[in-house]
Amino acid sequence: MDDLQQTLATTLLLWSLVSLGSSVVGLYASPNAFQRSFWFMSGLWGLIDGLIAWYSLVGWRQTPSQLLPILRFNAALDLLYIAMGVYLLGRSKPLLRGYGLGVVVQGGFLLLFDGYFWWRCVRVIG
């Protein structure tokens, strides 16, 4: 497995575990709809990120030149996620605002994540 891909997958898996672990604690300790919806959304994204990372670690082999278009596409999606999260943050219902904050946090991390590995791929490709 390519070192860059393994680093990418391991980093995503660690983020997934942080998201899942904090969401379990947050859901247990949160007294209101805003907080509970934030933690629920964080956990959901953590689960999805974990599945993607696991798949990448166990068999999805890509070179940096193959990863580059995927990371570009994902970065564009991340911007859409953040925009949707900001929209939800502006809603009046605490449940929707909590989901919005969760999407903004997760999308923001993924934008930084995809941007960093995009940069790393460009450096490796030359």
Binned at pLDDT 50, 70 and 90, residue 110 comes out as very high
Q: Vertex 78, ends 77 and 84: CA angle to 5°?
A: 90
pLDDT at 112 over 60: yes
Mean pLDDT of 26-33: 92
Query: What is the value of pTM for the model shown?
Result: 0.92
pLDDT at 116 over 90: yes
d(CA 81, CA 87): 10
- Enumerate the domain spans of the chain: 3-125
What percent of the chain is modeled with pLDDT above 90? 91
* Distance (Å) of CA 38 to CA 12, 41, 47, 55, 87: 20, 5, 14, 26, 15
Q: Identify which has the larger pLDDT, 80 or 1.
A: 80
Binned at pLDDT 50, 70 and 90, residue 115 comes out as very high
d(CA 110, CA 123): 20
pLDDT digits (tens, 9 = 90+) for 33-82: 999 999 999 999 999 999 999 999 998 789 999 999 999 999 999 999 99
Find where tokens 């670690």 sit: 57
Q: Provide the pLDDT for residue 2.
A: 59
d(CA 12, CA 14): 5
Q: What is the mean pLDDT of the chain?
A: 95
pLDDT at 1 over 50: no
